[in-house]
């Protein structure tokens, strides 16, 4: 029997983290939880600590870390509590860690995810913003440090499974066209407003936007799904992850969320990965790769599916998707600017300071008022992120007037 592998879960209290722990709990002989992390949800993190008994736990928020540390001391638990970005980077890069699940939502996940890359970990990537913001730099560091990068987003995991088996031999990379890959096809559920007329979208509330028809996700990702920005970010991620041009990536609306993505080949074949909409499947695939793990996910009964529907996206109703393609084609710092502006816009919408259709309007204005640069280093990206948030805040003030 192989020795168990130590796993750090960045963002263990979110939906990705919770599902990862569920998979690990049923494979306890193969995997051991080394560290769990959260931002402010220290009470939920405490419950996870009691169950999984990690060596370390980290709260990015220092006040939350202090509250957790007090409770851990009262309960006489052996878990050591750390805080801040430094704590996140430590548990992501520790030599005792074999696998890192990067499940922190947003730009906050960039530095700890990079810490895992720079120490050559097996990295399960669910934090799409790391690739959206850093793109070429991120992938260059993956190759330089020989990290094993495995996508966890259901769409990118599906592409991974449908692409040629030997495509992951980074030292002998063969261009996709030489392997017969014509196009990557990302499927999207369409979100909760897919069938609604455009005039109704102006009145949508945060509560309505967070009611995703198929997936259970956090509030930010749920809003991104409702605007189709989530799919736009996935387009950017796919382009960098698989080194393929934007014009060879297609998005189709597939409301059933059974086909998670497809790869179209030059001989006319289209390979698709199917399964019930449950994040434990791609998590288990990445965790156990190249082996398959057994999960508690219900197997897909193909006879119970009445039909598969596919529709082209409506760029007028969902302009965020078009903005993402625009930022990807501009390249350089444009995707990082798009991401920062979107995070600010979604936060304002969730706080009921911005209308649903104004999310795209704000992101577009930020893009139009920004200067795009070629990527140089991580410090540049972090500065761009900060400047974009400041510009977004200024424009938000004008929206409220």
Q: What is the DSSP string of 336-350?
A: HHHHHHHHHHHHHHH
Segment 60-85 shows an average pLDDT of 96
Contacts of 109 (CB under 8 A, 6+ apart): 10, 11, 102, 103, 127, 129, 130
Segment 40-53 shows an average pLDDT of 96
Q: Give the pLDDT band (50/70/90) at residue 1.
A: low
Mean pLDDT over each residue of the chain, to the nearest integer: 93
Give the whole-angstrom CA distance, residue 283 versus residue 293: 10
Please give the distance of CA 269 from its chain centroid, rounded to a whole number: 28
DSSP conformational letter for 332: T
pLDDT of residue 194: 93
Q: What is the CA radius of gyration of the chain?
A: 21
CATH number, domain 332-401, options 1.10.1740.10, 3.40.50.150, 3.40.430.10, 3.40.50.2300: 1.10.1740.10
Q: What is the pLDDT of residues 312-348, one digit of tens each?
A: 999 999 999 999 999 999 999 999 999 999 999 999 9
Q: CATH assignment of 5-151?
A: 3.40.50.720
Give the whole-angstrom CA distance, residue 78 versus residue 76: 7
pLDDT of residue 169: 46
What percent of the chain lies above the pLDDT cut of 90? 85
pLDDT of residue 377: 94
Q: Give the pLDDT band (50/70/90) at residue 166.
A: low
pLDDT of residue 302: 87
Segment 92-104 shows an average pLDDT of 97
**Helix (H/G/I), strand (E/B), else coil: 54:** coil
pLDDT of residue 307: 86
∠ CA 144-145-148, rounded to 5°? 110
Segment 41-70 shows an average pLDDT of 96
Give the whole-angstrom CA distance, residue 307 versus residue 87: 48
- Residue 83 near residue 58 (C-beta atoms within 8 A): yes
pLDDT of residue 12: 97
Contacts of 87 (CB under 8 A, 6+ apart): 37, 56, 58, 59, 60, 65
Same fold for the domain at 5-151 and the one at 332-401?
no
pLDDT of residue 185: 98
pLDDT of residue 132: 93
pLDDT of residue 175: 63
Helix (H) or strand (E) holding 133: helix 128-134
Segment 66-88 shows an average pLDDT of 96
For the whole model, what pTM was predicted? 0.91
pLDDT of residue 250: 97
CA torsion through residues 239, 245, 246, 251, sign: negative
Q: Write the burial class of residue 254 (CB in 10 Å: 0-12 exposed, 13-18 middle, 19+ buried).
A: buried
pLDDT of residue 179: 82
Give the whole-angstrom CA distance, residue 223 versus residue 356: 9
What percent of the chain lies above the pLDDT cut of 70? 95
Segment 161-167 shows an average pLDDT of 78
Segment 382-386 shows an average pLDDT of 95
Strand order in the sheet with 31-38: 80-83, 56-59, 31-38, 5-10, 99-102, 122-125, 148-151
Q: Give the pLDDT band (50/70/90) at residue 127.
A: confident
Domain boundaries, the chain: 5-151, 153-277+300-331, 332-401
Segment 116-125 shows an average pLDDT of 96
CA nearest to 134, candidates 344, 325, 379, 389: 379
- Residue 183 near residue 263 (C-beta atoms within 8 A): yes
**Helix (H/G/I), strand (E/B), else coil: 291:** coil
Q: What is the pLDDT of residues 241-271, one digit of tens each?
A: 999 999 999 999 999 999 999 999 999 999 9
CA nearest to 154, candidates 270, 269, 273, 240: 273
Model confidence at 119: pLDDT above 90: yes
């Amino acid at each position: 029997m192989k020795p168990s592998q130590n796993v750090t879960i960045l963002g263990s209290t979110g939906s990705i983290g919770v599902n990862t722990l569920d998979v690990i709990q049923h494979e306890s002989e193969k995997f051991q939880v080394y560290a769990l992390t959260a931002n402010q949800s220290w009470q939920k993190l405490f419950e996870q600590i009691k169950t999984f008994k990690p060596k370390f736990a980290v709260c990015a928020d220092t006040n939350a870390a202090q509250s957790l540390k007090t409770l851990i001391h009262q309960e006489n638990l052996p878990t050591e509590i750390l805080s801040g970005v430094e704590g996140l980077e430590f548990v992501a890069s520790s030599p005792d860690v074999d696998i890192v699940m990067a499940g922190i939502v947003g730009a906050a996940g960039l530095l700890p995810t990079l810490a895992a890359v720079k120490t050559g970990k097996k990295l399960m990537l669910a934090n799409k913003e790391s690739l959206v913001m850093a793109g070429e730099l991120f992938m260059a560091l993956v190759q330089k440090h020989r990290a094993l990068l495995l996508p966890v987003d259901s769409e990118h995991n599906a592409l991974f499974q449908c692409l040629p088996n030997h495509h992951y031999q980074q030292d002998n990379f063969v261009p996709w066209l030489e392997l017969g890959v014509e196009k990557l096809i990302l499927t999207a559920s369409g979100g909760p407003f897919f069938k609604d007329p455009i005039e109704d979208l102006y009145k949508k509330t945060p509560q309505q936007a967070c009611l995703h028809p198929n997936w259970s996700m956090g509030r930010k990702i749920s809003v991104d799904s409702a605007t189709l920005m989530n799919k736009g970010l996935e387009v950017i991620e796919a382009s960098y992850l698989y080194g393929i041009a934007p014009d060879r990536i297609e998005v189709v609306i597939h409301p059933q969320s059974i086909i998670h993505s497809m790869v179209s080949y030059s001989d006319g074949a289209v390979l698709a990965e199917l399964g019930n909409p449950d994040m434990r499947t791609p998590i288990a695939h990445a965790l156990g790769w190249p082996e398959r793990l057994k999960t508690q996910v219900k197997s897909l009964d193909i006879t119970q599916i009445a039909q598969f529907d596919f529709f082209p996206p409506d760029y007028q109703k969902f302009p965020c998707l078009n903005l993402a393609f625009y930022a990807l084609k501009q390249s350089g710092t444009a995707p990082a600017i798009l991401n920062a502006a979107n995070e600010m816009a979604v936060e304002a919408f969730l706080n009921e300071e911005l209308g649903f259709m104004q999310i795209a309007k704000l992101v577009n204005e930020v893009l139009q008022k920004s200067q795009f640069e070629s990527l140089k280093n991580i410090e540049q990206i972090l500065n761009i992120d900060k400047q974009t948030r400041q510009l977004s805040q200024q424009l938000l003030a004008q929206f409220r007037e």
